[in-house]
């Protein structure tokens, strides 16, 4: 494959050039034309070539919840949005919390996924099997465990217990991913706000910013004690940002993400959507969303992830009269890169920082090999985007199974035209070109 006449980001700035790809790798990047034969030639005139976006927080469902999304439909949405690598979450049904289900998950990914993929695993059901299951899943390529603080009465003890196993067994580069919401505080808030109408505002009050910050504070203290790498998912609180600023000054091995719906949406805007905008942690008031956007652009937040969490329309509408009856989660893997590119087009983020938050920092944090570069030797995972086309996000046009989005009607500038994974053209101007899995299981590279 040759991509000709495209704009390529380099250390010296943006240049016009050509990219030669063969056997899944980038072979050459030159400013002059590449005068060689090719099976596929793409005219990149007017387009910008970017490393494929990396989304380390998706819920591609499958297993018993395949009616909501499966690896194929989820990865179709990903590549349509320029995402070429995803990390799938373990709260499937059944959950990926032992080696048996992880092996099944790997097989599904190889059969179905158009993106490269890896897995966060869950906390094993039986503490007696904790050590064995963690080791077995590690040997299968798992390098991170997702822990939901609100599922445990004493979350700090749970985290300490797993750290002990990881240290004892020498599981190198193992990272802990934390959903930071305190169980006791949520339960207290439910009683405090019992008389409040059960809407999105109630959901925001119950799963408050304080409930998040309490867990963030506890986790940072454990990191100080053990010096182990921890990743905190979907930060949604100004209080958490303040804690993270101090952690960064201390150079603690901590990484953080924020979602598009927490930085580009706010409670006052989505409140009319009711259960269709319900997610955990909740979408916050506008003042907080602006603080989160600033923390993404300028730090201390490291990067952006979608927390793509599809549900059916019928499941969501059950919360029309009582928000508690609807499942939490919104879709976002397909709109992540376009929303960020729109930010770039409005000069609200530098090009270098844009590349960091959509790709480079994820690769650095999770030690992903051979990805994120547009130079010779890197895996050919890239996207070509039209920087001038303005378009409107519509749920009916999304490529996953969920056809509604909290970003309905939002205009963005920057349209994904082509997506290439492992040197294969998988997405071309609105069309998915591949019907089976072509993505790499990157767990085999660790």
Instruction: Identify the CA nearest to 144 among candidates 77, 72, 79, 96.
Output: 96
Neighbours of 225 (CB within 10 A): 10
Start-to-end CA distance of the chain, whole Å, equals 28
Cα separation, 371 vs 180, in Å, equals 29
Q: Please identify which residue in the block is written with the tokens 């059960």.
A: 198
Backbone phi, psi, residue 357, to 5°: -80, -15
Is 307 an active-site residue? yes
Neighbours of 350 (CB within 10 A): 11
Half-sphere exposure at residue 372, Cβ-oriented, CA atoms within 13 angstroms: 20
Contact 125, 97 (CB under 8 A): yes
Catalytic annotation, pick one of 62, 307, 342, 386: 307
Tokens of 294: 């600033």
Residues whose CB is less than 8 angstroms from the CB of residue 251 and which lie 6 or more positions away in sequence, other chains included: none
Cα separation, 283 vs 307, in Å, equals 13
Residues whose CB is less than 8 angstroms from the CB of residue 393 and which lie 6 or more positions away in sequence, other chains included: 335, 338, 405, 407, 408, 409, 410, 411, 412
**Which residues belong to the active site?**
307
């Amino acid at each position: 494959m040759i991509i000709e006449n495209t704009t390529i980001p380099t250390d010296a700035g943006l240049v016009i050039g050509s990219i030669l790809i063969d056997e899944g790798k980038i072979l050459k990047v030159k400013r002059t034309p590449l005068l060689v034969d090719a099976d596929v030639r793409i005219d990149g005139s007017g387009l910008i070539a970017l490393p494929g976006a990396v989304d380390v927080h998706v819920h591609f469902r499958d297993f018993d919840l395949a009616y909501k999304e499966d690896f194929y439909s989820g990865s179709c949405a990903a590549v349509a949005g320029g995402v070429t690598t995803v990390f799938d979450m373990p709260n499937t049904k059944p959950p990926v919390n032992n080696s048996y289900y992880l092996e099944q998950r790997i097989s599904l990914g190889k059969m179905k996924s158009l993106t490269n993929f890896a897995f966060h695993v869950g906390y094993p059901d039986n503490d007696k099997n904790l050590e064995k299951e963690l080791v077995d899943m590690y040997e299968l390529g798992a390098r991170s465990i997702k822990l939901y603080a609100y599922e445990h009465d004493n979350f700090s003890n749970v985290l300490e217990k797993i750290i002990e196993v990881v240290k004892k067994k020498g599981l190198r580069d193992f990272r802990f991913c934390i959903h930071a919401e305190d169980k006791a505080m949520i339960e207290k808030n439910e009683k405090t706000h019992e008389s409040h109408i059960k809407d999105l505002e109630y959901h925001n009050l119950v799963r408050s910013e304080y409930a998040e910050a309490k867990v963030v504070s506890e986790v940072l203290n454990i990191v100080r004690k053990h010096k182990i790498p921890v990743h905190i998912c979907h930060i949604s609180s100004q209080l958490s940002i303040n804690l993270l600023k101090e952690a960064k000054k201390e150079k603690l091995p901590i990484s953080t993400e924020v979602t598009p719906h927490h930085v580009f949406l706010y409670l006052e805007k989505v409140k009319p959507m009711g259960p269709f905008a319900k997610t955990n942690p909740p979408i916050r008031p506008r003042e907080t969303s602006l603080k989160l956007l600033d923390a993404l652009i300028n730090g201390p937040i490291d990067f952006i992830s979608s927390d793509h969490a599809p549900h059916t329309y019928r499941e969501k509408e059950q919360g029309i009269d009582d928000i508690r009856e609807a499942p939490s989660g919104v879709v976002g893997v397909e709109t992540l890169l376009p929303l960020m590119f729109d930010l770039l087009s409005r000069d609200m983020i530098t090009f270098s920082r844009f590349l960091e938050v959509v790709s480079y920092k994820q690769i650095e944090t999770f030690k992903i090999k051979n990805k994120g570069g547009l130079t010779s030797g890197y895996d050919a995972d890239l996207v070509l985007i039209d920087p001038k086309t303005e378009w409107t996000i519509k749920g009916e046009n999304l490529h996953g199974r969920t056809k509604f989005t909290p970003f309905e009607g939002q205009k963005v500038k920057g349209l994904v035209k082509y997506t290439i994974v492992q040197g294969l053209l998988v997405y071309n101007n609105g069309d998915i070109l591949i019907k089976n899995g072509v993505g790499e299981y990157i767990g085999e590279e660790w």
